[in-house]
Structure 1
Amino acid sequence: MGLQARFLMLMAVALVVVLTLVALLLNRQEQMRREVEGVSRQAMRTIVAQSLRRQGEGAVTQLAAALTNPLYYNDLDAIGALARSTLRTPAVRYVTVYDEAGRVVHDGSDAIVHFGRRMDDPMANGVIVAKRLHTQISGGVMDVSMPIMIGQQRIGGVRIGYDTQAMRRDQDQAVGTLRTRLDTLGQRHVIWIGLLGAGLLVFGALSLWLIQRLLVRPIRQLADSAQAIEAGHFDTTTPIDDRNDEVGDLMRAFDRMSRSLARHDREIRHMAYTDALTGLANRLAFREALEFRLGQIHGAGRQLALLFADIDDFKRVNDTLGHDAGDEVLLQCARRIEDAVQRVGGDEALLARFGGDEFVILVQGNDDPAQDVRSLATRLAETLVVELGAPLMVQERQVFLGTSIGITLFPEDAASATTLMKNGDIAMYQAKVAGKNCFRFYSRAMNQAVERRVHLEHELRGAWDRGELSLVYQPMFRLVDGAMIGAEALLRWRHPELGFVAPSVFIDVAEQSGLIEVLGPQVLHAACADAKRWQAARNDDEPMFVAVNVSPRQLRSGDLPEVVSATLRETGLAANLLHLELTETAVIGDELHASALLSELRGMGVRVWLDDFGTGFSGLSHLRRVPVDGVKIDRSFVADVLRDPDDLALTTAIIAMAHSLGILVVAEGVEKEGQYAILRERGCDFAQGYWLGHPMTAEEFHALRV
């Protein structure tokens, strides 16, 4: 249905609406005429009644005053003259003069037929008892009476009856005249409405013709051009009109738009399918290319390999050098990856950046056995690990990064693009778990590991509330005198179906999923509450502290001091009896932020220990910049101090340098008497391990103290 037909239909609808409105208007006019007639009749009736009442009350008042003396002296002639004079007034039906007992004295007639008779009509009682001007209406008669008084004495009265029927006749005559005039006005309105309708029809026909000539035809031409452009023919010639109106402007603007669309289409496609930073294909372009490749080789016996490469520790560059340096790193990495793909990946290789620090590479094998594409992917992955492991120069500084690469094969691992991409991501994650800066091929076992991890995360949620998680305490001893000085709180999970879950497993799950931010404060509160109960149960000269591990995620959140302060306040534990243990890598990741938080904690009186010291490759120089009270030598060094001279030398150096900085030293993993002896000989302050004491429940630890 075109615009012209729509307008014609609109005119028809408008005509129906107008006719309906005219009919409603005429009906309403007739209703208004009847309402006006009724209102007028009622108004005239009210006005005439009020006028007649005022007239009657005035006449009876005058007549009563005139009759006072004649009635007092019983002058019937004078009374009769006054009564007959009143009877000659239009609309007066009767005049009755009565005495104080209600008997008729005169009725205006010559014979006075009812003289001396007591008035007994329906309105008589009201007239007789009335003490002042009294008006009654009944049976088409308005009776107006007035008592006649001499001082305070009533000597009689007078009543005048008016005929209301004459009033109604006058009223009907006036209403008839009003109805005639209203009918004349209604006929005039109908004529004007008819003329208006005819004018609307003429105007509609003229408008239809003008719309067809000036609007419909140009718009149809533009629509034809638009359909051609929509089909992808951007070079379609658009009709141009010399008209100097809005339609002419629209046609010329449409022509300019169609010419620019071809240019912008190429630019938009480039932007939609290209990564803005590196100029590589983006996720959308890669996904479409992958779907196309899979459709091409489906059933042809050819293989594909998908490589997911993620830059290791890239966030550290943004955090330490800024986002501009991070963009420069990404550009350099993209160039190295692109060069490697061109050299090793083959002519059909495709490289894309998925966003952030993640790159995806598609390499395609030939008709040879599947080992070819696996070998090709392996060579490319090895090349990428070497190329991206080389130092980068950014802002005149060397930056050392690496890459974790996951590889998945088609059709060996999956038959769809979605599954392939998921498998590549899983394999890349396993490469990071394996230590980063390496590559791993996808296997179904990886998928099962991911499913187990997801299941563990699900089960870990609410495990504390279900009572599956609990704390155990491993005692710490002072090496000088062998005194027990505190305990480290350790979290354990006993699942009703899975049994005992290793802390290294579920702590990592909690850290990666963010559950540690919920579990951490709960563990801290429970450990402080247990320590407070130890102090209350036994008043020691040297109260024992409790050490609680803090995850890197808790440290990064920034609210650790507030959480610790609230916990100490709620449990009542003294601040100096709480030792917080943070891993060396967590502190070094953002020294400035960590130093500020640790200074605030130490200002509260809480002690801070650096856990697993020596494993983060940080060097003792960091101890001068990070405010800590002590370090814990990692168990990997303590385990070989008896047989490895290097570990012994390193342990001795750590103890000596820490003491030179005024920092205490704790040795972890002491499992032999010889280890204990050599650590005490080298001046280590504290120690913990299975030879000294196994982790135990809070009740067992309390019994050990007693």
Structure 2
Amino acid sequence: MKLRNGLQAKFLLIMALALVVQLLLLAVLLQRQERAQEEVITVTRDAMAGVSSDSLRRRGEGMVLQLGEALTNPLYYFDLDAIGSLTASALNQADARYVLVYDAEGNIIHDGSETIPSYGKRMDDVFADEVIASGSLLTQFSEELMDVSAPILIGDRRLGGVRVGFDLEVARGFQDRAVAEMRSQLDGLGSRQLLWAAAMAGGIVLLGAVILWLIQRWLVSPIRLLADSARQIEAGRFEVDLPTSRRRDEVGELMRAFSRMSASLARHDRDIRRMAYTDSLTGLSNRLAFREALDEQLLRIRGAGQQLALLFADIDDFKRVNDTLGHDAGDEVLVQCSARIRDTILRHAGDNALLARFGGDEFVILVHASPKEGQDVRAVAMALADALVAELGQPIMTQERQVFLGTSIGITLFPDDASTATALMKNGDIAMYQAKVAGKNCYRFYSRAMDLAVERRVNLEHELRGAWDRGELSLVYQPVYRLADRTMVGAEALLRWNHPRHGQVAPSVFIDVAEQSGLIETLGPQVLRAACSEAVRWQQLRPSAEPLSVAVNVSSRQLRSGGELVQVVADCLRDTGLEPERLHLELTETAVIGDEVHASEMLAQLRETGIKVLLDDFGTGFSGLSHLRRVPVDGVKIDRSFIADILRDPDDLALTSAIIAMAHSLGITVIAEGVEKAGQYALLRERGCDQAQGYWLGQPVPANEFLALLG
């Protein structure tokens, strides 16, 4: 095999020359004298190594124990100056490579330096896990290092610990120097005894020097340069400058490959950082980048008299865009919203604000102001929130359609509301939720009372879980009468919660909690099944009478569940044996009109099973009567707010009459809610209303009392 003119060939050539010279020298040397010298040196080296190792260990352990005792009080009172003084003194030892003081969790408190660059970082070297877990003096070794650690205790309480790393190379250097001195003495003795071997020894030394020089030039220096570059890369400095090598051997190829690798790592690091800190859809900062920026701002301005405002903005009803137009349209809407928010911030806050997207439809804005410069952060935040609400309330064009959304904004202030990043973000989220509760498309400042409201709501949600199984939830039934002959034709099933401590909880309270938490998706099928079973009992008690219908309310969340609602209804009808035409499902007008296309498809599927669909609270959603032509329903229930004043308000009477006439023209049944007076009943019958319910006709009663009405 032909060797190229590379490192391998050079090394083989040098070794061949050295071998020839060595054979010539060995032929004239006294083998016994050389062996004796080597044995003496070996025994001496081993003895010195043992003594040096034991000595260094005892010195290191004594030093660490003494240092641990000295650090107890400074660490207990967290006196960084005293800790730094002690650790710096220890670090001045010739063979001390590092001195670390750490807390009970393994986080570095001091490293002996003035700036303490490693403060707060968790120890992650090869010895760290054993050091953190150890409760006593611990000595560990590696090839180059002796690590001695000891916990710092006050009584049984562990405050932390101290570590000292001793450089074994120092001890080895001492041994090497001692051995070299002994070798020199032995060589001198041998030279006096064997003067004729001096020339040969000189030749060996000269040859060794030449070999070392060649190795240093061809191998050691390039490798050391690569090692230094590798340490820079390990420290995160990927763009290292390596000299261009013209060598055509293996080391030259390695250096050029290393340079290419460094450039590639730097490029990938920039890409990874951009992906890690940037939202891929909008190009804004993401949650991680925002949190780091917030922590940095708080650290910088703490105690400086500056103020911050955190604005949590959530796009209202954004899920409807994804559900109706698809996720591509949703992404387009988010991009437009982020652009509007960014432009609004530039106009009202300029460079004093940072914008980030937290994911989904949540955006967070950090605004800072300095009272010393006459800036009021509350006023700035309020003006910005007003502008954002107005801007995001404007229609957005996507896929040639106008989308009307809005935004709910929660605002919290530093240092008035909280002093930590976690608390500020929690408060902003709470305030944003209160803006949602207040009707959306508005903003709310955080207040202490919000915490109590959220806590009450969380407790209510927790207690609502399992309330049906515990028997706290039950159904009551309000009769529905036909106006023409005042005959009962059915009943509406209404859910009630008898709390063991608070008594009767208003449906408007716990139904909203169930909607927001998703519990309605569990309670809805349970209520539906119970109502269907009860309706079957009604027919069994009066088999020859006109069948009574049962009306069950369905939430907008259940309507959005798609085919799941259709399947739940079909299962209930099959399992209970209730005829489909006797089941009436009531949906609010706002839930249906808010997503008309999807609702129309769902209602059509429900009606195909034979059930009846009623539009509840009709007239409160500000929708035109023309919507009745596009939404397949069997009946509408006029909201009680119109019925309450039909005897004295001509406008309510006219609107009620118009609803009845329009519905009848479309073949839709009309049911009036909230009939509480005989005059209302008579007027509704006169205007042609089909059915009615209300306290004047019959209050909601438990199942057993309703059975008594049928008897």
- TM-score norm. by structure 1 comes to 0.66
In the TM superposition, what are the counterparts of 1:233-632 in structure 2 within 5 Å? 233-238=237-242, 249-368=253-372, 372-557=376-561, 558-632=563-637
- One of 663, 669, 683 as aligned partner of 1:658: 663
Which amino acid in the other structure matches residue 255 of structure 1? S
Distance in 2, Cα, partners of 1:544 & 1:246: 94
Q: Is the 8 A contact 2:324 2:598 kept in 1?
A: no
Does structure 2 conserve the Cα–Cα contact (< 8 Å) formed by 1:346 and 1:363?
no
Check the 8 A contact 1:351/1:362 in 2, yes or no.
yes
Change in Cα spacing, 1:651 to 1:235, as seen in structure 2 (3 Å) is same
Q: Counterpart of 1:695 in structure 2: which amino acid?
A: P
Deviation at 1:366, TM superposition (A): 1.1
SS of residue in 2 equivalent to 1:476: strand
| Equivalent-residue separation in structure 2 for 1:694 and 1:215 (angstroms) | 98
* Counterparts of 2:574 and 2:515, CA distance in 1: 26
**Alpha-carbon distance between aligned partners in 2 of 1:537 and 1:245, rounded to the nearest angstrom:** 102
For 1:529 and 1:476, locate their aligned partners in 2 and report how far apart those are by CA, in whole Å: 18
Determine the C-alpha separation between the residues in 1 that align with 2:625 and 2:509.
30
Contact residue 309 and residue 359 of structure 1 kept, 8 A: yes
Residues 222 and 239 of structure 1 are in contact (CA less than 8 Å); yes or no, is this contact kept in structure 2?
no
Change (3 A) 1:230 1:476: same
Partner letter of residue 612 of structure 2? R
Question: One-letter code of the match for 2:494?
Answer: L
How many Å apart are 1:593 and its aligned residue?
3.7
CA distance in 2, matches of 1:560, 1:244: 75
- In 2, the alpha carbon distance for the partners of 1:398 and 1:282 equals 28
In 1, Cα distance between equivalents of 2:689 and 2:324: 35
Instruction: Give 1:470 deviation, angstroms.
Output: 0.6
Q: For the structure 1 residues 587 and 216, does the alpha-carbon distance in structure 2 shift closer, same or farther, using more than 3 Å as the test?
A: farther
Of the three residues 647, 658, 661, the one matched with 2:652 is 647
Q: Secondary structure at the match of 2:439?
A: coil
Contact 1:492/1:503 (CA < 8 Å) preserved in 2? yes
| CA distance in structure 2 between the aligned counterparts of 1:631 and 1:384, rounded to whole angstroms | 38
Quote the Cα distance in structure 2 between the aligned partners of 1:520 and 1:407.
35
- The residue that corresponds to 1:228 in the other structure is 232
Distance 1:324 1:260 in 2: 34
1: CA distance, partners of 2:571 / 2:398: 43
CA distance in 2, matches of 1:250, 1:517: 64
- 1:456/1:370 Cα in 2 relative to 1: closer, same or farther (>3 Å)? farther
The 1:261–1:683 alpha-carbon spacing in structure 2 relative to 1, beyond 3 Å, is same
* Residue 278 (structure 1) shift: 2.3
SS in structure 1 at match of 2:585: strand
2:59 is matched with: none
For residues 521-558 of structure 1, the C-alpha deviation after alignment (integer angstroms, 9 at most, x for no partner) is 11111111111111111234312111111122222222
The Cα shift of 1:433 comes to 0.9
Amino acid at match of 2:587: L
- Contact 2:369/2:375, CA 8 A, preserved across alignment: no
1:240 shift after superposition? 5.7
Q: Quickly say closer, same or farther: Cα 1:589–1:386, change in 2 above 3 A.
A: closer
Encode CA deviations 1:489-514: one digit per residue, 9 max, x unaligned: 00000111122111111111112222
Q: Measure the CA separation in 1 of the matches of 2:652 and 2:257.
A: 81
Q: Does structure 2 retain, via aligned residues, the 8 Å contact 1:423–1:442?
A: yes
Alpha-carbon deviation of 1:290? Answer: 0.8
CA-CA distance at 1:576 after TM superposition: 1.6
Tell me the SS of whatever aligns to 1:669: coil
Q: Kindly tell me: are residues 473 and 246 of structure 1, through their superposed partners in 2, closer, same or farther at Cα, counting changes over 3 Å?
A: farther
The residue that corresponds to 1:679 in the other structure is 684
Q: Secondary structure at the match of 1:646?
A: helix
RMSD: 2.7
Q: Deviations over 1:604-646 (max 9, x none)?
A: 2211111122223333333223222111112222223233333
Measured against aligned partners, the alpha-carbon deviations of 1:559-587 in whole angstroms (never above 9, x if no partner) come to 22222222222222222211111222333
CA distance in 1, matches of 2:589, 2:216: 82
The alignment partner of 2:626 has SS state of helix
CA displacement 1:196-223 (0-9 Å, x = unmatched):
xxxxxxxxxxxxxx99999887555422
CA distance in 1, matches of 2:351, 2:696: 63
Paired residue type of 1:337: I
Q: Is the 8 A contact 1:303 1:370 kept in 2?
A: no
Q: Deviation per CA, 1:474-494, whole angstroms, max 9, x where unpaired?
A: 111111111111100000001
Matches within 5 A, 1:137-152: none
Which deviates more, 685-694 or 320-329?
320-329
Distance verdict in 2 for CA 1:235–1:518, change over 3 Å:
closer
Secondary structure in 2 matching 1:632: strand
Q: 1:561 to 1:247 in 2, by over 3 A?
A: farther
How far off its partner does 1:306 sit? 0.7
Label 1:440 to 1:705 Cα distance change in 2 as closer, same or farther (>3 A).
Answer: same
Residue 115 of structure 2 corresponds to: none
- Is residue 641–residue 675 contact of structure 1 (8 Å, CA) maintained in 2? yes
- Map residues 151-230 of structure 1 onto 2, 5 A cutoff: 220-230=224-234
The alpha-carbon distance between structure 1 residues 497 and 215, as it changes in their structure 2 partners (threshold 3 A), is farther
Deviations 1:166-216 (A, max 9, x none): xxxxxxxxxxxxxxxxxxxxxxxxxxxxxxxxxxxxxxxxxxxx9999988
Structure 1 Cα separation of the partners of residues 318 and 497 of structure 2 = 33
Q: Deviations over 1:399-450 (max 9, x none)?
A: 2221111001111111111111111011111101111111101112111111
| CA pair 237-345 structure 1, distance change in 2 beyond 3 A | closer
Change (3 A) 1:216 1:598: farther
1:438 to 1:225, Cα distance in 2 relative to 1, 3 A? same
| In structure 1, distance between residues paired with 2:260 and 2:215 | 25
Residues in 2 aligned to 1:367 and 1:238: alpha-carbon distance in whole angstroms = 51
Note closer, same or farther for the CA distance 1:605–1:250 as it changes in structure 2 (3 Å cut). Answer: same
Which runs of no fewer than 5 residues in structure 2 stay unpaired? Answer: 1-213
Q: Could you tell me how far apart the structure 1 residues matched to 2:382 and 2:483 are?
A: 53
Conserved in 2, the CA contact under 8 Å of 1:221 and 1:239? Answer: no
Distance 2:554 2:668 in 1: 20
